């Protein structure tokens, strides 16, 4: 079936049309028919762009003031005789929506019902920068395509299998029981997809393997995937925790915050911006949040860029060790995301000297690894495999949509993962 996948941000709508089915999922043969983006929603020069395999990319600039108009334009371009891929929107049999936060109530992807919509609304307080826009897109698409099922796929759902010892903070317990302050984790669709594909690449059942997945893009997170279940992940209550990222600090001593507020006389919103927008690779290097530019600056002798790069890789290495301990050993380390898939230097530096854990990188295979391919870059005899798996969150959303509609969507959570009330 043809599934429209929508990922709605504050001023953007990313979309794809994916042809998939339960059989195509099994054969890994589902196909992206079109992909595109509406950006600068709310401005007079909003841009809609669409790419279709084998055709010149097409774009149009016009005023798009809100999400409903954006989705309307997406549907219009999809049926355009020259630039589109559909004869009629009736060919779309379902819509899959990315939703960032599902709180503690969802541990799988689900068919959107009024109850599910209310639950996403309830989670707005946990993800005020994301869930409202996801909801806006959902409402727009349901209004415009009322006759088809809509499925919600959550960034947090895969990590609902974490045990309480991994998700409860060392804070007064009332903050959890009253406000649900706990670790949730994000990038769940990507961690799930690449762990499944890694097991396939190894030719082993997912239920047999312990994988550390590293999603390294502008936002970065790692997960410990124990026999198909996420048992720990580096992002927490928000996507700020864990690894060093493009502009986010990752792990830090929270006592720094009141100290900085006093000494630097900054407001809460300035503090938030400092942590999320002015830290990470960018904050340390003063050069850029973009790993390509960091690597370039390192090569030209920039010492702060080198320090930022080293911190980035050191944290990855620390978490590989931590997750090996958490799972009682590992069978594979998987890299994905713009940095994970493309930076041989990050992979090599992060895993250097980890032979004691059984990780032996094949430096040459790592260096020349082709883009966009699922491939192993560890030595033949390495106890732990090192895999590169291109992530494809839209494909996971389309696949989950088909699975939910086919009644074969498993819950990711395992029994016994609830914390005491």
Give the orientation angle of helix 131-144 with respect to helix 67-78, to 10 degrees. Answer: 50
342 near ligand ADP (CB under 6 A) = yes
188 or 219: CB nearest ligand ADP: 219
The dihedrals phi and psi of 246, each to the nearest 5 degrees, come to -55, -55
339 near ligand ADP (CB under 6 A) = yes
Q: Residues, the chain, total?
A: 421
Name which of residues 7 to 26 contact ligand ADP (CB under 6 A). Answer: none
166 near ligand ADP (CB under 6 A) = no
The Cα 344–Cα 367 span in angstroms is 5
Question: Could you please report the per-residue DSSP string of 125-184?
Answer: GT-TTTHHHHHHHHHHHHHHSTTS-EEEEESSGGGGG--HHHH--SS-HHHHHHH--S--
285 or 343: CB nearest ligand ADP: 343
109, 343, 392, 401: which one binds ligand ADP (CB under 6 A) = 343
Q: 79: helix, coil or strand?
A: coil
Q: CB atoms < 10 A from the CB of 177, how many?
A: 12
Q: 267: helix, coil or strand?
A: coil
Q: How far is the CB of 346 from ligand ADP (least distance, A)?
A: 7
Interface with ligand ADP (CB under 6 A), residue total 13
164 or 338: CB nearest ligand ADP: 338
Q: How far is the CB of 336 from ligand ADP (least distance, A)?
A: 8
69, 218, 382, 411: which one binds ligand ADP (CB under 6 A) = 218
Q: CB atoms < 10 A from the CB of 367, how many?
A: 13
Tell me which DSSP letter residue 358 carries: T
308, 337, 385, 388: which one binds ligand ADP (CB under 6 A) = 337
Binding string, 198-217, against ligand ADP, x = CB under 6 A? -------------------x
39 near ligand ADP (CB under 6 A) = no
**Has 155 been annotated as catalytic?**
yes
The Cα 312–Cα 386 span in angstroms is 18
Name which of residues 242 to 271 contact ligand ADP (CB under 6 A). Answer: 246
Q: How far is the CB of 292 from ligand ADP (least distance, A)?
A: 4
Binding string, 268-297, against ligand ADP, x = CB under 6 A? ----------------------xxx--x--
Q: How far is the CB of 103 from ligand ADP (least distance, A)?
A: 23
188 near ligand ADP (CB under 6 A) = no
232 or 341: CB nearest ligand ADP: 341
Q: 374: helix, coil or strand?
A: coil
> Residue 340: which of 287, 305, 389 has the closest Cα?
389
Active-site hit among 30, 155, 226, 232? 155
108 or 342: CB nearest ligand ADP: 342
Q: CB atoms < 10 A from the CB of 31, how many?
A: 12
The Cα 73–Cα 157 span in angstroms is 30
Kindly tell me the sign of the dihedral angle through the C-alpha atoms of 170, 173, 175, 176.
positive
| Contact region with ligand ADP (CB under 6 A), list: 117-125, 161-169, 225-233, 337-345 | 337-345
Q: How far is the CB of 289 from ligand ADP (least distance, A)?
A: 7
Tell me which DSSP letter residue 398 carries: H
Contacts of 344 (CB under 8 A, 6+ apart): 366, 367, 369
Chain contacts with ligand ADP (rule: CB under 6 A): 217-219, 246, 290-292, 295, 337-339, 342-343
The residues annotated as belonging to the active site are 155
């Amino acid at each position: 079936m043809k599934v429209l996948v929508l990922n709605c941000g504050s001023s953007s709508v990313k979309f794809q049309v994916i042809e998939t089915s339960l059989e195509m999922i099994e054969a890994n043969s589902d196909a992206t028919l079109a992909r595109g983006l509406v950006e600068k929603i709310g401005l007079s020069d909003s841009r809609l762009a669409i790419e279709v395999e084998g055709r010149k990319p097409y774009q149009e600039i016009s005023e798009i003031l809100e999400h409903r108009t954006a989705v309307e334009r997406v549907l219009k371009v999809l049926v355009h005789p020259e630039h589109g891929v559909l004869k009629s929107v009736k060919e779309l049999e379902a819509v899959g929506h990315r939703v960032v936060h599902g709180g503690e109530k969802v541990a799988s992807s689900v068919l959107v019902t009024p109850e599910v919509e209310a639950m996403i609304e309830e989670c707005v307080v946990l993800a005020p920068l994301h869930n409202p826009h996801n909801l806006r897109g959902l409402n727009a698409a349901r209004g415009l395509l009322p006759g088809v099922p809509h499925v919600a796929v959550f960034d947090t759902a895969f990590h609902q299998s974490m045990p309480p010892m991994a998700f409860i903070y060392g804070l007064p317990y009332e903050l959890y029981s009253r406000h649900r302050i706990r670790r949730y984790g994000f990038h769940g669709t990507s961690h799930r997809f690449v762990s499944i594909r890694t097991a396939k690449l190894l030719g082993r059942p997912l239920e047999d393997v312990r994988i550390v997945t590293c999603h390294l893009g502008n936002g970065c997170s790692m997960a410990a995937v124990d026999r198909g279940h996420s048992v720990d992940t580096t992002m927490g209550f928000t996507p700020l925790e864990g690894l060093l990222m493009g502009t986010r600090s990752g792990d830090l001593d929270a006592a720094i915050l009141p100290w900085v507020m006093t000494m630097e006389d900054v407001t809460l919103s300035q503090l938030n911006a400092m942590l999320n927008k002015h830290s990470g690779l960018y904050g340390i290097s003063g050069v850029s949040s973009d790993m390509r530019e960091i690597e370039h600056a390192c090569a030209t002798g920039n010492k702060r860029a080198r320090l930022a790069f080293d911190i980035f890789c050191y944290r990855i290495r620390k978490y590989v060790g931590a997750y090996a301990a958490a799972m009682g050993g590992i069978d594979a380390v998987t890299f994905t995301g713009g940095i994970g898939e493309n930076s041989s230097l990050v992979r090599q530096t992060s895993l250097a000297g980890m032979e004691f854990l059984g990780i032996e990188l094949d430096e040459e295979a790592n260096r020349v690894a082709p883009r966009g391919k699922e491939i192993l870059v560890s030595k033949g005899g390495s106890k732990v495999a090192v895999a590169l798996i291109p992530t494809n969150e839209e494909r996971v959303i389309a696949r989950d949509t088909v699975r939910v509609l086919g009644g074969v969507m498993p819950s990711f959570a395992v029994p016994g993962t609830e914390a005491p009330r």
